Amino acid sequence: MLSPKELAGLEAQPLSGVSYHVRVLARCGAIEIAGDRRVRGSIEHFYLPTDVVRRTPWVLATLGLEG
């Protein structure tokens, strides 16, 4: 489970760009909100992959999750 902020830190990318792509992936059904928490007056969302990702071999291979 990762938040866009955590993912941005791991990939050394701007949070704004990562957040945009996370929203696109959520809208397409590739990820879903798995939890959230309050952080300084805001809500941080955490995401997990959906069955769409788990059933797609090339996605698993790209993420290094096949096996």
Query: In the 3-class helix/strand/coil scheme, how is 7-59 assigned residue by residue?
Result: HHHHHCCCHHHHHHHHHHHHHCCCEEEEEEEEECCEEEEEEEECHHHHCCHHH
Tell me the percentage of the chain whose pLDDT exceeds 90. Answer: 72
Give the pTM.
0.78
Write out the residue range of the structural domain in which residue 53 sits: 4-63
pLDDT tens for each residue of 10-27: 999 999 999 999 999 999
> CATH number for the domain including 46?
1.10.10.10
3-class DSSP assignment, residue 2: strand
* Total number of domains in the chain: 1
Rg (CA), the chain: 13
